[in-house]
Structure 1
Amino acid sequence: MSIKEIVTPENTDQITFNGKIKKLQQTLSKLPNSNLYTFKVIILANLSGSETKKGNAAFTRLLQGFKYEIFNYQRTCDELLLPSISGTCSQPGEVTIPLTLKDNEVPQATNTIKTIGGNCTVSIMFIPAMQIAQMMHNYRNALLIYNPRSFLGLRKGNINSTIRNTIVKKNTNEFALFNNGLTIVTSGSSFNKSLGSASKAQLILEDPQIINGGQTAATLAQIYDSSDRYSLKGKEVLVRVITFEAEDTKRKKVIQQLSEATNGQTTITDGDRHANDPLLDTFKKSIFRDFAMLYEHKTGEFYEGVVVKKHVPKDQIVDRDDFLRVAIAMNGDPGMARSGGKKNLYAQHFFNAEHQMNEQEQEKSARKYMYGYFVLRYLKTKSKQLKDLQDKYHRDKYGYALRYGNYAVVSVCARFRPNNLSAESTQEKAEQVCESVLSHWKEFENEVIEKRSTNRDFDFANYYKTQTVKEDINSTQIKWLDE
């Protein structure tokens, strides 16, 4: 391989590279301080035996001595594709914020706090709004790992227009007084005034994460991206920087608790309030690897990949609320799946069994629930097909299955999911079973009418919200699957 000739293109007159390689060379030539970089070859392949002494020697010869790293399909999905789609590729490893000091100014107040996860240092200071806006513009979702909402979700709402107006419509710095500011957690931070000028200083943040004040940061980034960028000059933001001394696992636990506490008084959806649950991250990775679909546990999490870069079509997004309702229906409670309000569902039925499982079992649950999700999606697609103004939900053929009985159908279909069903066959099997179950649904509803009422105008809208539907599904003798 001609890696050395690509990265150091001297004396390569005899080698002709294609357009993509030439573009790569052009990009490399524009790198500032290129001598500070080291090169590593990334190999995208499912390789076995590469970690042996013999395999390592073979790769070293092939790659002309360059260091290398192998990404198999799992690492490619988890560490390359998902970050690209969610806009978290550029990680804020170290962020330097330049500051301007005034005469005799004390730029920060600092204190050390003892927590169950170890000591942390808290510094409070005012930082130029322009610097916060630029940081958020550069890193977006990568700064919001512990925040219950994504960059897009934070940019929506009436609060943002108030924040924006305080910046854009005022020439003075009232914003520093009116706004509650940001809370940023870091793994390390330093404040340096020794820059050769009494008026200059810099704040260095290692692995910064915004856990509170995300709406403020997102709105500042929105202003930064607009023609009103100039209005950020002279405005400041109150920032609380928390630096943890604890090791990574303890630090994450305290940060999670801090995020929940600082966002507890903010109006956020029930789904977003659970967005940082580690279980959902396991679901997301498993569903993406197995089905190439995106489980969106934060509102707008995949905006970068779906809308901006158009990597993934919108119909590949798995709705988190539908997914939870499907799980409840598949576990035998279709009435609750249909009737339960979001607050109740997330408070009392939020994957209770899965939280007691290990990661491998959680991944199996994700695959199981995707079967039900494909059933639900098939029902929704079917209800949109061949629309008849006189029979909008195809009642003559399917009864109330497509209008009120979606989760009851999911519950029945769940009984016929093979235990050894592969990810590749899941959607096809789900749709096949669903079609068979639907063909018997009017028979089921006629049974219900005979059993529950003498009135032919039986109220199926309310029936499918009750526990009675579970009893009737369990007791029916209908052979749902055609031979």
Structure 2
Amino acid sequence: MSKYLELVKVLDKICYEAPAKNTRYNLRVATSEQISSARARAFIHLFLKVKFGQIDFSERERFITDDIDDGGIDGYYIDKDKKDLFIIQSKFRTNEKNFENKEITLEEILSMDINRVTSGEHSYETGAKYNGKIQAFIRELQEISDLPRYNYRVIIIANVKNSLQTSINKIVGFNAEIYNYDRCYQELLFPLVSGTFYNVSELKITINLESTNTGHRIDYNVKTQFDECNVNAFFVPTLEIAKIVSRYKNSILKFNPRSYLDLAAGSVNSEIEKSIRKIKTNEFALFNNGITMLSDHTKHSDKVGKRNKAEVMVTNPQIINGGQTAYTLSRIYETCLKDGSPLEIFEDKEVLLKIITFSDEGDPSAKKAGEKLSLIEEISKATNQQSPVNEADRRANDRVQIELQQKIFEEFGYYYERKRGEFGDGIRNEYISRNMIIDRELFLKVCLAAQGKPNESLSGQLKLFIPSKFSSILPDSDSYRKYMFAYITYVQLPKYKSSTSGLATSYGRFAVTTIVSQKYVSTLSKDDFEKVIDLEINL
């Protein structure tokens, strides 16, 4: 499936999120024109969800103004924390060719009445009134007491000629930020599928003080080879953690060696779920090893104007241990919301949270940054004991794997799973099918076959991912196209099974992949891959 068709599938899923009363998103009874209109609005929903973490459909819908008499403004968003005002113009195209090639015209940009709307004008120069959503936008601006402090940011989600950028900036009065088709795939589609779509810069965590007898936290300074670190530890309501991960998902697990591993029977995650659902008291605090979070800056206060409450503000948080615990809690929370079940199962249940804060002072050099990342990796390895972390998990954040993932998606539209469970959200929400996900172990075996070593392709995961072997197979990502040629060969082989092919296309797949891979040349386009593979296998 092409990236465009996957994008359309995502937009349709967003339409299905709409409340029944919002009939304009009902694709089941819509005409082709109405379907196109619904997808165009869902495209803006996608932007608001990914870029601003707006999870709730109805909340996002409030910011979408796209309709008759919208003053050329399709949507907006007001970030009151960062003092940013976003004004959105979007053009969704109804077929892949137009989506990737058709450009927005200067006339369409000229239709944006940004200056009039932000100046409080309620109508066009002709006197015709703007629609109700634009009127609501104007009222919202009028209610902001410190509006002069806000930065105005114009977002154009469309293909734009490079030569038009300067003209567009003059027309809208601000530097416009352009999201062309490729940026939409990279920064909207991929993050949504992988659950990394909203990066939180500051996080507030609320703590209960009712169950504490004396001090409710440990505050400890640690001297390391990198620099001095501060460690805070306290028990946090499980519901707090559930809500946090439900919103930020894998974006808060970037340094964790694994993403969520689902609730397989007998797994650690299923046991975590049982201790929340089946036990009414707080054994969870005893059974669970807790969560370790990294922070660039941490601020704690008991004086927050709430009885028996304290709050912790964490800057650039990342969970490096306990990701399975945190994600399982979020899945339970989401299931309760979906089913309309009460959240009482979380009541009086807490989990130990350890926050490691790195000093943000001192040497900002690349060397120090590298030392910090090395220390993070060592902490991650040392603390991930609750679920076994295998060698493949330890290689998940290696630079070569990150580059492979980016390049393979950008050119081929496949999702290389460098972390276990990385695309679980995409599968659960039916954004993508499993056959679009590349298993990392299989990929390494295919790489060996492409290198002319089909016998080594039978190696187990442990051998493939030990550092020396892994780096010999994938020293860099430069040969990704050849390896994708080999991968496509391997996955297509079963369809060629016939009475004449014998066991070659089943038990001899790596050997056949090695032979066909010799026909790869760097000038082959991805569209030619299947033609060459088909020709070679049928010879």
Which category of TM-score, normalised to the shorter sequence, fits these structures?
A: 0.7 to 0.9
1:80 maps to which residue? 188
1:435 maps to which residue? 538
C-alpha change, 1:402 and 1:42, in structure 2 (3 Å) is: same
Answer with 262-271 or 340-349: which moved more: 262-271
Q: Does 1:41 align with 2:41?
A: no
Q: AA paired with 1:378?
A: Q
Q: Does 1:317 align with 2:437?
A: yes
Q: AA paired with 1:354?
A: L
Deviations 1:309-358 (A, max 9, x none): x4434332222222111101111110111x21222222253252533x4x
Answer with 293-302 or 282-291: which moved more: 293-302
Correspondence for 1:59 among 168, 180, 184: 168
Correspondence for 2:460 among 341, 344, 348: 341
SS in 2 for 1:323: helix
Deviation at 1:287, TM superposition (A): 0.6
Correspondence for 2:512 among 404, 409, 433: 409
Q: Does 1:178 align with 2:287?
A: yes
CA distance in 2, matches of 1:15, 1:61: 25
C-alpha change, 1:124 and 1:154, in structure 2 (3 Å) is: farther
C-alpha change, 1:250 and 1:73, in structure 2 (3 Å) is: farther
CA distance in 2, matches of 1:10, 1:84: 37
CA distance in 2, matches of 1:306, 1:368: 27
1:125 maps to which residue? 234
Deviation at 1:31, TM superposition (A): 10
1:238 maps to which residue? 352
Contact 1:182 1:240 (C-alpha < 8 Å) held by counterparts: yes
Q: AA paired with 2:239?
A: M
Q: AA paired with 2:353?
A: V
Deviation at 1:194, TM superposition (A): 2.7
TM-score calculated relative to the size of structure 2: 0.68
Deviations 1:417-438 (A, max 9, x none): 11322334333333333333xx
CA distance in 2, matches of 1:42, 1:67: 9
2:395 maps to which residue? 274
C-alpha change, 1:428 and 1:119, in structure 2 (3 Å) is: farther
Deviation at 1:37, TM superposition (A): 6.0
SS in 1 for 2:304: coil
Q: Does 1:354 align with 2:462?
A: no
SS in 2 for 1:194: coil
2:99 maps to which residue? none
Answer with 124-133 or 258-267: which moved more: 258-267
Q: Does 1:68 align with 2:189?
A: no
Answer with 317-326 or 21-30: which moved more: 21-30
Contact 2:262 2:421 (C-alpha < 8 Å) held by counterparts: no
CA distance in 2, matches of 1:150, 1:23: 39
CA distance in 2, matches of 1:302, 1:187: 27
Contact 1:168 1:228 (C-alpha < 8 Å) held by counterparts: no
What pairs with 1:452-463 in structure 2 (closer than 5 Å)? none
CA distance in 2, matches of 1:180, 1:264: 9
Correspondence for 2:274 among 154, 165, 171: 165
Contact 2:405 2:416 (C-alpha < 8 Å) held by counterparts: yes
SS in 2 for 1:349: helix
2:223 maps to which residue? 114
Q: AA paired with 2:187?
A: E
Contact 2:447 2:473 (C-alpha < 8 Å) held by counterparts: no
Correspondence for 1:136 among 231, 237, 245: 245
CA distance in 1, matches of 2:241, 2:215: 20
Deviations 1:237-281 (A, max 9, x none): 111100112555443332122212222563245533422222111
Percent identity between the two aligned chains: 32
5+ unaligned residues in a row in structure 2: which ranges? 1-109
CA distance in 2, matches of 1:25, 1:335: 69
1:12 maps to which residue? 123
CA distance in 1, matches of 2:121, 2:283: 58
TM-score calculated relative to the size of structure 1: 0.75
Contact 1:223 1:229 (C-alpha < 8 Å) held by counterparts: no
Contact 2:122 2:135 (C-alpha < 8 Å) held by counterparts: no
Deviation at 1:49, TM superposition (A): 5.7
1:480 maps to which residue? none
2:373 maps to which residue? 252
Correspondence for 1:367 among 481, 484, 488: 481
1:149 maps to which residue? 258
CA distance in 2, matches of 1:33, 1:178: 49
Contact 2:228 2:359 (C-alpha < 8 Å) held by counterparts: yes
Correspondence for 2:332 among 219, 223, 228: 223
Q: AA paired with 1:101?
A: L
5+ unaligned residues in a row in structure 1: which ranges? 384-393, 437-483
CA distance in 1, matches of 2:232, 2:312: 11
2:304 maps to which residue? 195
CA distance in 2, matches of 1:269, 1:31: 53
C-alpha change, 1:166 and 1:378, in structure 2 (3 Å) is: closer
Q: AA paired with 2:153?
A: K
Q: AA paired with 2:491?
A: R
Deviation at 1:75, TM superposition (A): 4.3
CA distance in 2, matches of 1:253, 1:32: 49
Deviation at 1:66, TM superposition (A): 2.8
Deviation at 1:198, TM superposition (A): 6.1
C-alpha change, 1:15 and 1:201, in structure 2 (3 Å) is: farther
Q: AA paired with 1:405?
A: G
CA distance in 1, matches of 2:400, 2:187: 18
Contact 2:493 2:506 (C-alpha < 8 Å) held by counterparts: no
Correspondence for 1:294 among 415, 435, 442: 415
Contact 1:60 1:67 (C-alpha < 8 Å) held by counterparts: yes
CA distance in 1, matches of 2:533, 2:308: 67
Correspondence for 1:211 among 320, 324, 329: 320
CA distance in 1, matches of 2:375, 2:154: 37
Q: AA paired with 2:513?
A: V
C-alpha change, 1:198 and 1:118, in structure 2 (3 Å) is: same
Deviation at 1:416, TM superposition (A): 1.2
Deviation at 1:399, TM superposition (A): 2.5
Contact 1:328 1:349 (C-alpha < 8 Å) held by counterparts: no
1:332 maps to which residue? 452
Q: AA paired with 2:375?
A: V
Structure with the greater alpha carbon radius of gyration? 1
Answer with 260-269 or 173-182: which moved more: 260-269
Contact 1:324 1:351 (C-alpha < 8 Å) held by counterparts: no
Q: AA paired with 1:280?
A: Q
Deviations 1:174-195 (A, max 9, x none): 2212211111111221101232
Answer with 365-374 or 415-424: which moved more: 415-424
